[in-house]
Amino acid sequence: MYGPNYGNDRAEIEDLMARYLFAFDWQDPEAYAGTFTEDGVLDFAGGVKVGREALKAEMVAFGERERAKAAASFPPRRHRVRHFVDNLVLEIDGDAVASTPDYPDEAAREQALQRLRLALDQLAAQE
């Protein structure tokens, strides 16, 4: 089931995910784009961005949106997002990796999907 490099591969993947989330949370465009390959693709609710320059621009735009939210809040406060990776299940096969969220059961998975759908609907309504 596990290849001879599984431990090293897993450590590198976990490190990359942590650096990606840290750069995202701190809105650091250079560090964020640096977690992708030169031709990396971000496919997310806001669309598809290709390449490090597009990823940097997206992170700059995200930071501007977050600062606007902070300025509009009362009392004014900086919105801060924190992401954590927990219970990471990785299936590593050579250079291919699949990551699966670890839900305790199907009901918890469905609740998480419902929360995600609600959040996406709320974001769409704001635009």
Kindly list the structural domains of the chain, giving each domain's residue range(s) and its CATH number in brackets, ordered by start.
6-102 (3.10.450.50)
Quote the Cα angle for 7-29-86, to 5°. Answer: 35
Q: By three-state DSSP, how is residue 126 classified?
A: helix
- pTM value surpassing 0.75: no
pLDDT digits (tens, 9 = 90+) for 11-45: 888 888 889 989 998 889 999 999 999 999 988 88
Q: State phi, psi for 91 to the nearest 5 degrees.
A: -115, 105
Q: Hey, what are 86's tokens?
A: 């927990």
